[in-house]
Chain A
Amino acid sequence: AAGVIQSPRHLIKEKRETATLKCYPIPRHDTVYWYQQGPGQDPQFLISFYEKMQSDKGSIPDRFSAQQFSDYHSELNMSSLELGDSALYFCASRQTGGEFGEQYFGPGTRLTVT
């Protein structure tokens, strides 16, 4: 079965650089969620989109922005990167109207800021 695709899988950036993470949801899934997971920590919700509109916002820094496109893929843009931004970034997708509406996670992008 098709899964959530994230690219790139690994990314190394220097402080103050920018990064763009991409997420391609499972076909027919219309909602995308972004999570950040620091080393040894639980995933923290950043932001979500439903039908290309921002649906919820969590602990996302002002330096970050995201959007969902007409094909439902989403991009997380990160600027002025800091060392503390080093983490795993997960995208999850969901199909509204499902029985329970569970979220399916992608493999993640490991961002390392040096």
Chain B
Amino acid sequence: GESVGLHLPTLSVQEGDNSIINCAYSNSASDYFIWYKQESGKGPQFIIDIRSNMDKRQGQRVTVLLNKTVKHLSLQIAATQPGDSAVYFCAEREDSSYKLIFGSGTRLLVRP
């Protein structure tokens, strides 16, 4: 069935550097994509989202890029901070159902 996956299970970056977390999706019917941050023992926290009619969306220190041609999604975190250390999930949603299909998480480790 359709799935959302990530290329790297763990990403280690130096504090202050930029982080890029990648995600591939396979369902061309998905029209909405979200990035969630999950800290240990907590629920997924909404970071940023993007509709399929957009290719870029910026938030505070975060940018999501969507390439529908190759079905690729990325999350860029500028000036990564220790508080950014967490597991990051991308998720896709079909407009018809609204349920989320999560990909395998990427653990981001920020070195001081």
Contact = CB atoms under 8 A, between A and B. Distances in A.
Interface stretch (A11-19, A62-70, A73-81, A97-105): A97-105
Contacts of A110: 41
Interface string A71-89: 0000000000000000000
Given A100-B32, A100-B49, A102-B49, A48 B89 contact: no
A11 to B, nearest CB: 14
B40 to A, nearest CB: 11
Q: Give the bracket for the number of chain B residues in contact with chain A.
A: 20 to 34
Contact of A107 (B34, B43, B89, B105): B43
Contacts of A90: 43-44
Interface residues of A, number: 26
Interface of A: 4, 31, 33, 35, 41-45, 48, 55-56, 58, 90, 92, 94, 100-108, 110
Given A41-B104, A105-B36, A108-B42, 19 more contacts: A4-B43, A31-B98, A42-B89, A42-B103, A42-B104, A42-B105, A43-B44, A43-B89, A48-B98, A48-B99, A58-B99, A92-B43, A92-B100, A100-B49, A102-B46, A103-B34, A103-B46, A104-B46, A106-B43
